[in-house]
Amino acid sequence: MKRKAKTVEPQREIAINLYRSVWEVRNDGWIHLSDNANRLASAEASGGDVDLARQRVAETLDLLEPIESYWAFPGRQGFQRLLSLFQEREYGGFNDLVHRISRALSSQSYRKSFVSLHLDEESAVEEEERRETEVRVDRPYFEVLIVDDLSAQEEETLRQRLRSMRRDEDKFIYELVVVPSFQDALIAVMFNFNLQACVIRYGFPLQSRYKLDILGQLLEGYEDEDLEILPESERGCLLGTKIAQLRPELDLYMVTDVSVEDIAGKLCENFHRVFYREEDDRELHFSILHAIEDRYQTPFFTALRVYSQQPTGVFHALPISRGKSILQSHWIQDMIQFYGLGVFLAETSATSGGLDSLLEPTGPIKVAQELAARAFGAKRTYWVTNGTSTANKIVVQALIQPGDIVMLDRNCHKSHHYGMVLSGAHVVYLDAYPLNEYSMYGAVPIRSIKQRLLEQKRAGKLDRVKLILLTNCTFDGIVYDVERVMEECLAIKPDLIFLWDEAWFAFAGFHPTYRRRTGMGAAARLRDRFRDPEFRQRHVQFKEQFGNPDDGDERWLDTRLVPDPDRARIRVYVTHSTHKTLTALRQGSMIHVYDQDFKQKVEEAFHEAYMTHTSTSPNYQILASLDIGRRQVELEGYELVQKQLDHAMALRERIATHPLLKKYFRFLATGDLIPKQYRPSGIETYFDSEQRWARMEECWHTDEFVVDPTRLTLHIGATGVDGDTFKHDYLMEKYGIQINKTSRNTVLFMTNIGTTRSAVAFLIEILVKIAQDLDERNEDMSPPEAKLHQLKVESLTKRLPALPDFSHFHRFFRSDTGIPTPEGDMRKGYFMAYNEELCRYVTMPELQKHVASGQEIVSAMFVIPYPPGFPILVPGQVISREILAFIEALDTREIHGYRPELGFRVFTDDALARSTDIPAPDAMPVRIPAFKAA
Ligand SMILES: Cc1ncc(COP(=O)(O)O)c(C=O)c1O
């Protein structure tokens, strides 16, 4: 169809990028507008400086105008009304209307009831009463985006038509946002978190009146001219694809005037339905509501609520069910007072009554898990009621048989190390790059991973390498280029399986920038890539150029490897501590699976592993919370994650610019946490005064590692207080601020989806108070105290112990009779240590003496200092000089596996004496000599 001829206006730049933040700018904009409108009205009434007040109002209106064109309230027309009042210099009426809109926005009352934009109070009340049929109380509200180049009159007609279809029994209520172009649709999807559905109609042009920097990246690879000449149906499809990349949860519809039968067959998978012109408005309305209901449903939570209202007699276990044992008690009534009765009515030990069984789900749990899989982009999802500690063990046990080789980040959570023991894996520990100056580790470079894989290839053991296990993101917020890691590893071993421990990253699937660096996001991208003929071509070219070099050839490490799409299998597992970053009760976790070979190779073993670790009495409240948490992210995940990001950015910006705070504190930036060689973007910090936060997007596209800005590592070396003391004595005891992780000179803060603007302000206030206390302390110091303080600052900022790499497994625990490789059988060491006769204790001084004289001493235990919390020694590992130096320099209160009165538990020489036929450790290539160190 022919597009309407349009006069092309020059584009106006929107002075905002996505990171910091359109919503804050909008909120603040309305507050300023209210203040200035008030001033303007008063100036006019009292004969004051009208021009100045007018200019201020004009500036704020200018800022708000583009933003408001993407929201339903007050909407483009409401905003136009304001502008006309302002232009006609009706300042009294203008002021009243600004206040009414501003109040409705800040209280969000527009979601609950109709807000009239009539100037005169009486007419406004009358209109609101007339529209009372639109009572929205208890009906969740959302907005629907219509992409169509409509006149104001046409827009109003469409609005009325869809409104007229509302029925009392509708569970939800929506309003329309109409945008005229392709680019506007994308901006609306990014700006407006009230949107839940998008209807792409016909005849819309490409360009917006507004220009937004981030659009360039989103439309990378598409020239404006390419888009201009796209046929109608393809333009709509492309828009659908782009919207789905940004916010896959949105329901997409197409309304077309081309033959629907033709289009329906060609429509991309992202569309729910296609309609022919306006003939199906009613169907469209029902479809929109139905699709929201689909995300809103919580099968297990609903079943539990129904169950809790049924009269039942309890003749089985669990006296607490229905609150019985409490209600009859004289002594524990406060339990009900505190928790309320609901939670106990929902307690049952029965799997009957439609409540399904977690171990063999066939009813609501099964459906709820399927919905979770959809939400998190998995092929299948399993709920776990005792944390990711258990989720990790289930996955490892399902995938690994004794003797299989697993490559594992040494700094990963302890559940993985114990998982290795349980499964009997032979472990190759991967070393993350150290950040000695902050006493923490980064992540494992792709070069080291490839190096280890090639080492196994050379030794002819690649078939035994089953799994690579990495933490994404790390506790400190280092995020991998997940797609690249998998792609390059699959080029070396096409059926390799990946387990991404995303305990801290469950929220990441609900924001476009984060999503591409999640296990599930990357798996989906790889699937699309492997199906793409262009990628196949790329692989052919790569093969021609790369040839078939020897496994020890440096080129393997220096070249970006391209896997063969016909051989590579996508086998990805992710574990989430849903409870850590989303709404779920403590211990609520999920396993997400995207494994092409699951049915054929894993399903039975997975079932057994799940049975091994899952309680026969899983906590129903945890399960219900996982179901509700999933509903929340499918309906408001994008908003919540974006706000979490905004709060983090605000916090970073404040600390960086506050004169007193800068003196003692500094949030570590990308340049601090990621060495240069892993940052091709060259960007040191996401923030700069000109581009604000726009650079984050660039790093996240190009760099090997990036920092999750919502994990805020505060460097406190300049305070002269170590991390642990700062956490306990300053933050917790004095100001009640809870944090979790510290290093010698840092403390880690996090924003999450529950963080508010006031919480951010509170933290800044506390840090200012602490800085003032520190100033006072420093001023009152005697000269000897000042000297001591100086030494402490130096020890926390300059003299930090080098973080040791994993040493190696003793040959007794290795099986490498041919070409030596580093994997070790930890399970053998773990169980050998049960035998008292094979172990002894050595004190630190004795150990230092033995190790200095070249004696091999082998740990019988996991030794884990908190912080940093990773095992510095594992069973079967040879104790190195570097490890002892590190332990000695730690000022940590807790070292698990070390008994101060006895020392370290190690194996006796006799116990290890039988291991003569295996090469000595110095013959083992901790680094392959042919390769340069990573
Ligand atoms: C990386 C990582 N994985 C797994 C876990 C264990 O998670 P959960 O507490 O849900 O058992 C943690 C806990 O801190 C962790 O940091």
pLDDT tens track for 477-492? 999 999 999 999 999 9
Q: Is the CB of 474 under 6 A from ligand 1?
A: no
Residue 2's pLDDT band, with cuts at 50, 70 and 90, is very low
pLDDT at 216 over 70: no
Report the chain's mean pLDDT, rounded to a whole number.
88
Q: Which two tokens stand for residue 814?
A: 């290795």
> Residue 818: its pLDDT value, please?
77
pLDDT at 95 over 90: yes
Spell out the residues 6+ positions from residue 574 whose beta carbon is closer than 8 angstroms to its own.
376, 378, 499, 500, 502, 518, 519, 520, 591, 592, 594
Residue 921's pLDDT band, with cuts at 50, 70 and 90, is very low
What one-letter code names the amino acid at 549? Answer: P
> Residue 822: its pLDDT value, please?
94
Going from the C-alpha of 407 to that of each of 428, 638, 811, the distances in angstroms are 5, 34, 18
Q: Is the CB of 34 under 6 A from ligand 1?
A: no
Determine the Cα–Cα distance for residues 627 and 615; give it in Å rounded to an integer: 19
Ligand 1 mutation target, pool 383, 386, 480, 580, most atoms within 8 A of CB: 580
What is the Å distance from ligand 1's center to 790 Cα? 37
pLDDT at 934 over 50: no
Q: Which two tokens stand for residue 530?
A: 């492997």
> Residue 802: its pLDDT value, please?
82
> Residue 929: its pLDDT value, please?
36
Determine the Cα–Cα distance for residues 875 and 421; give it in Å rounded to an integer: 10
Residue 127's pLDDT band, with cuts at 50, 70 and 90, is confident
> Residue 931: its pLDDT value, please?
36
> Residue 3: its pLDDT value, please?
44
Strand partners, 366: none
Q: Which atom of ligand 1 is nearest to the CA of 577?
A: 10
- Residue % of the chain over a pLDDT of 70: 89
Spell out the residues 6+ positions from residue 186 whose beta carbon is closer than 8 angstroms to its own.
215, 218, 219, 239, 242, 243, 246
Residue 928's pLDDT band, with cuts at 50, 70 and 90, is very low
Give me the mean pLDDT over the 715-741 stretch: 88
What is the Å distance from ligand 1's center to 365 Cα? 24
What is the rounded end-to-end Cα distance, in angstroms, of the chain?
58
pLDDT tens track for 332-365? 999 999 999 999 988 877 665 668 999 999 999 9
Q: Is the CB of 589 under 6 A from ligand 1?
A: yes
> Residue 539: its pLDDT value, please?
97
What is the Å distance from ligand 1's center to 413 Cα? 6
Going from the C-alpha of 620 to that of each of 623, 903, 917, the distances in angstroms are 5, 44, 54
pLDDT tens track for 356-394? 999 999 999 999 999 999 999 999 999 999 999 999 999
Query: 308 vs 456, which has greater pLDDT?
Result: 456
User: Rounded to 5 degrees, what are φ and ψ at 483?
Assistant: -65, -45
Give me the mean pLDDT over the 630-650 stretch: 94
pLDDT at 4 over 50: no
Residue found by looking up tokens 């035998």 in the block: 835
Q: 872: burial class by Cβ within 10 Å (0-12, 13-18, 19+)?
A: buried
Identify the top-confidence range among 75-89, 571-585, 771-785.
571-585
Q: Which atom of ligand 1 is nearest to the CA of 475?
A: 16
Determine the Cα–Cα distance for residues 455 and 449; give it in Å rounded to an integer: 10
pLDDT tens track for 542-569? 999 999 888 778 899 999 999 999 999 9
What is the Å distance from ligand 1's center to 919 Cα? 37
User: Rounded to 5 degrees, what are φ and ψ at 904?
Assistant: -95, 140
Q: Is the CB of 388 under 6 A from ligand 1?
A: yes
Q: Is the CB of 389 under 6 A from ligand 1?
A: yes
What is the Å distance from ligand 1's center to 714 Cα? 22
Determine the Cα–Cα distance for residues 399 and 401; give it in Å rounded to an integer: 7
Identify the top-confidence range among 149-158, 261-270, 396-405.
396-405
Contact predicate 269/287, CB 8 Å: no
Q: Is the CB of 500 under 6 A from ligand 1?
A: no
Q: Is the CB of 581 under 6 A from ligand 1?
A: no
Q: Is the CB of 415 under 6 A from ligand 1?
A: yes
Per-residue burial over 104-137, b = 16 or more CB atoms within 10 Å of its CB, e = otherwise = bbeeeebbbbbbbbbbeeeebeeeeeeeeeeebe
Give the helix, strand, coil percentages of the chain, each rounded to 5. Answer: 50, 15, 35
Find, among 685, 747, 693, the residue nearest to 721 by Cα: 747
Residues present in the chain in total = 934
Helices (H), 147-266: 152-163, 182-191, 213-218, 224-228, 232-246, 260-266
Q: Is the CB of 476 under 6 A from ligand 1?
A: no
> Residue 77: its pLDDT value, please?
84
> Residue 782: its pLDDT value, please?
87
Q: Which two tokens stand for residue 145?
A: 């985006």
Q: Which two tokens stand for residue 797?
A: 């900022």
What is the Å distance from ligand 1's center to 11 Cα? 48
**pTM of the predicted model, to two decimals?**
0.93
Ligand 1 mutation target, pool 383, 408, 577, most atoms within 8 A of CB: 577
What is the Å distance from ligand 1's center to 422 Cα? 18
What is the Å distance from ligand 1's center to 577 Cα? 7
Find, among 240, 521, 473, 481, the residue nearest to 375 by Cα: 521
User: Rounded to 5 degrees, what are φ and ψ at 259?
Assistant: -55, 115
Residue found by looking up tokens 């080291």 in the block: 448
> Residue 87: its pLDDT value, please?
93
Determine the Cα–Cα distance for residues 134 and 112; give it in Å rounded to an integer: 9
> Residue 134: its pLDDT value, please?
58
> Residue 915: its pLDDT value, please?
54
Least-confidence region, from 217-231, 675-689, 693-707: 217-231
Q: Which two tokens stand for residue 507?
A: 């929220």
pLDDT at 400 over 90: yes
pLDDT tens track for 780-807? 888 888 888 888 888 777 777 788 889 9
Ligand 1 mutation target, pool 389, 390, 471, most atoms within 8 A of CB: 389
Residue found by looking up tokens 């581009």 in the block: 691
pLDDT tens track for 271-300? 888 887 766 788 899 999 999 999 999 999
DSSP state for residue 601 in the 8-state scheme? I
Contact predicate 375/249, CB 8 Å: yes
What is the Å distance from ligand 1's center to 414 Cα? 8
Contact predicate 596/570, CB 8 Å: yes
Q: Is the CB of 501 under 6 A from ligand 1?
A: yes
What is the Å distance from ligand 1's center to 471 Cα? 10
Q: Is the CB of 472 under 6 A from ligand 1?
A: no
What is the Å distance from ligand 1's center to 504 Cα? 8
Residue found by looking up tokens 């003196």 in the block: 663
